[in-house]
Amino acid sequence: MKINHLLPTALIQSKQWLSIIQDCVYPPTCLLCGDEGVSHSDLCQPCKTALPYFQGGCSLCSALMPNAIEITAVCGECQIKPPDFNHTHVSFAYQEPVRHLIHGLKFNSRFVNARLLATLMAEQLRTVTDKPDLLIPVPLHPQRYRERGFNQSIELTRHLSQQLQIPNNLNSCHRTRNNIPQAALGAKQRRRNLHRTFSVQPLTEVQSIAIIDDVMTTGSTVRAIAKAFKHSGVNKIQVWVCARA
């Protein structure tokens, strides 16, 4: 029997169809403690409440500024070298258990973690009034992509697009050099390492984008991508990251 015969036509036509499949494939169970997930998410309420939600920072790059009083404060680095993006939205501090969920996605291919993390990001981003025209994931170099088999930023982007109803473009930004991994370098070396690393294709009729990444450390990667898009003619650039180290 075809599954179509078991469901009302209106339901099949709606986007709920997708969430029904997802709930069958990944039933909503808390990924952190195994209890029942709340409102179709893979997290229970106590675990959700205990997450390390990100607390403010530089109004441009969200770098932590423990002594800042005003919400419009700009960090020293952004004052010296303003980024080509207008704002960074960070959902979480890069602490446990968020770190555990991101590691599970990146190094153990736990794609269900991407759905959870993107759902949590989308809950926060729904209140953003200045929605971008397009979501752009931070690309991996093709060689790294082949080794890993997927790009965690693309996984987050796909879920965010679906949940926030914002289109994405997975092919407009390419990493043309396979640099030394950024984690092994200091801040100054990171910027040098990324010089001419990204190439972007001009986006016609797109005024604003959001660059999507899993973890932002110094911000060198998203600074380099934003610079490339700004040069290509995009007016307004935001950065949306799951966690900031």
Minimum CB separation of residue 38 from Zn ion in Å reads: 9
Q: Which is nearer to Zn ion, 182 or 199 (CB)?
A: 182
Minimum CB separation of residue 214 from Zn ion in Å reads: 19
Q: Which is nearer to Zn ion, 42 or 155 (CB)?
A: 42
Give the β-pairing of 134-137 and 208-216: parallel
**Interatomic CA distance for residues 119 and 100, integer angstroms:** 16
| Interface ranges with Zn ion (CB under 5 A) | 30, 32-33, 35, 44, 47, 58, 60-61, 63, 75, 78
Q: Which is nearer to Zn ion, 90 or 206 (CB)?
A: 90
Minimum CB separation of residue 49 from Zn ion in Å reads: 10
Q: Which is nearer to Zn ion, 75 or 234 (CB)?
A: 75
Count CB atoms within 10 A of the CB of residue 172.
20
Minimum CB separation of residue 222 from Zn ion in Å reads: 11
Minimum CB separation of residue 43 from Zn ion in Å reads: 6
What is the dihedral angle through the alpha carbons of 236, 176, 170, 205, rounded to the nearest 10 degrees? Answer: 40
Q: Which is nearer to Zn ion, 41 or 199 (CB)?
A: 41
Strand, helix or coil for residue 142: helix
What residue spans of the chain are helical by DSSP H? 9-13, 16-25, 45-49, 76-80, 98-108, 111-125, 142-148, 152-164, 187-193, 220-232
